[in-house]
C-alpha cells in the first residue's frame, strides 16, 4: 500500500470515531409520557372486538385481502435431452379456520443407455472414460 492511501484511511477512521463519540445518547425513559387506558376504555375495546376482526386486521396488515379464494403457484422445467417437468401447489381455504394444501410434481428425464454411450464415443473416436 502507498503511504498516502494509508494516511487517508487513518484520517477517515479518525473522523468516524470522532463523530461516534460526539453522538448524543438517547434520552432516558419518562414514565409520565405513557398513556394508559382507563377501565372503561378497556371494556369498550373488548366489547367491540372479536378474534375474527383481529384476524382480518392482521391479514390486511400483512398484505392479504379478504378474499377466501385458492392461492398457489405452478411452474415448469424444460431441459436438454428430453428433460421436462411440471410442479405446483395450492392452498384451499375450508371454512373460517381450515385449509387444505395440495401439491404435485411430474419430472421426467431420459436416462442414457450404456450401449448408446459407447456408440457415441466410437463415432467420435473418443476414448471412453
Would you say residue 52 lies in a domain?
Answer: no
Would you say residue 103 lies in a domain?
Answer: yes
The alpha carbon dihedral of 26, 32, 37, 39 has a sign of: positive
**pTM for the predicted model, two decimal places:** 0.36
Of the chain, the percentage scoring pLDDT greater than 70 comes to 59
Mean pLDDT estimate for the chain:
75
Overall average pLDDT of the 95-116 stretch:
82
Q: In terms of residue numbers, what domain contains 97?
A: 67-129
Give the number of domains in the chain: 1
Strands across the sheet containing 71-78 = 71-78, 84-94, 98-108
Would you say residue 71 lies in a domain?
Answer: yes
Would you say residue 51 lies in a domain?
Answer: no
Q: What are the grid coordinates assigned to 89, written together? A: 401447489
Would you say residue 6 lies in a domain?
Answer: no
Beta bridge pairs of residue 86:
76, 106
Confidence bin at 67 (pLDDT 50/70/90) = low
Q: What are the grid coordinates assigned to 27, written together? A: 434520552
Q: What are the grid coordinates assigned to 111, written together? A: 436416462
Would you say residue 24 lies in a domain?
Answer: no
Q: What is the pLDDT of residues 105-114, one digit of tens each?
A: 999 887 766 6
Amino acid at each position: 500500500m502507498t503511504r498516502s492511501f494509508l494516511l487517508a484511511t487513518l484520517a477517515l477512521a479518525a473522523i468516524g470515531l470522532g463523530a461516534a463519540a460526539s453522538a448524543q445518547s438517547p434520552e432516558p425513559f419518562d414514565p409520565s409520557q405513557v398513556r394508559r387506558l382507563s377501565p372503561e376504555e378497556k371494556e369498550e375495546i373488548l366489547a367491540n372486538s372479536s378474534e375474527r376482526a383481529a384476524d382480518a386486521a392482521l391479514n390486511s396488515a400483512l398484505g392479504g385481502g379478504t378474499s377466501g379464494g385458492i392461492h398457489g403457484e405452478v411452474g415448469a422445467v424444460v431441459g436438454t435431452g428430453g428433460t421436462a417437468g411440471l410442479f405446483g401447489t395450492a392452498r384451499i381455504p375450508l371454512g373460517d379456520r381450515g385449509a387444505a394444501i395440495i401439491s404435485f410434481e411430474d419430472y421426467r428425464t431420459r436416462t442414457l443407455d450404456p450401449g448408446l454411450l459407447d456408440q457415441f464415443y466410437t463415432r467420435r473416436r473418443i476414448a471412453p472414460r
